[in-house]
Amino acid sequence: MKNAIRLLAAVVIVAICLFSFIACDNGNGYGDNSTFNGTWVNSSDGIRIVLNNGNFTIVMDDIESLRGTYNTNRNNMTMNTTHINGAVFGEAGSIIGLSPNQWYAAQEYMTAVINTLIDIGMTQAQAEAMLNEIVGGKLFETQTGTYTLSGNTLILTMNGEVIVLTMQ
């Protein structure tokens, strides 16, 4: 269970950082969702973000981990995670009730984890509180940030953190 909690915490941290990925202004003040179609890589950790016409997939350790949608306005992008892959949790996923072969929407994810926590002896309230403490809604929280673009390098700023991505 300790490994599952650590893994959940790691996914939350990565998601917060990566959700700050922001697309480009197409010159008219409004970003074109196709402008950044392709794969962007954070060279410090190898995490990839694949953008495709308003949809994104985050790939960690060669596992498609998170999916969602994005839209742009001026130099801002808003990203909304819609699904998490059970495979991102590795073997710990089965401990917390997740299948490595399934994508989970927010409610499905929360229900699976809460039910597992109840199965190991927690009350509904305790299970909900623990999930909230670990994840705090961040996995499926809408994120918005700013960017600067120079050639094939995108520099993002989100909550004071700077992330550098390169077009692959």
Look at residue 32 in the predicted model and tell me its pLDDT. Answer: 57
Is residue 66 within 8 Å of residue 109, measured between CB atoms? no
- CA end-to-end span of the chain: 37
Q: How far apart are CA 52 and CA 4, in angstroms?
A: 31
Exposed (0-12), middle (13-18) or buried (19+): which is 124, by Cβ within 10 Å?
A: exposed
Look at residue 163 in the predicted model and tell me its pLDDT. Answer: 86
Look at residue 148 in the predicted model and tell me its pLDDT. Answer: 78
Look at residue 26 in the predicted model and tell me its pLDDT. Answer: 38
pLDDT per residue rounded down to tens, the chain (168 residues): 544 444 444 444 444 444 433 333 333 333 456 778 889 999 899 999 999 999 999 999 999 999 999 888 888 888 899 999 999 999 999 888 899 999 999 999 999 999 999 999 999 999 999 998 888 778 888 888 987 778 898 887 877 788 899 999
Look at residue 14 in the predicted model and tell me its pLDDT. Answer: 43
Assigned token pair, 132: 């909230």
Half-sphere exposure of residue 110: CA atoms within 13 angstroms, side-chain side: 19
Provide the pairing of β-strand 103-104 with 153-158. Answer: unpaired
Look at residue 20 in the predicted model and tell me its pLDDT. Answer: 37
Look at residue 78 in the predicted model and tell me its pLDDT. Answer: 83
Look at residue 157 in the predicted model and tell me its pLDDT. Answer: 80
Look at residue 103 in the predicted model and tell me its pLDDT. Answer: 97
Give this prediction's pTM. 0.75
**pLDDT tens digits, 32-78:** 567 788 899 998 999 999 999 999 999 999 999 999 998 888 888 88
Assigned token pair, 39: 């794969």
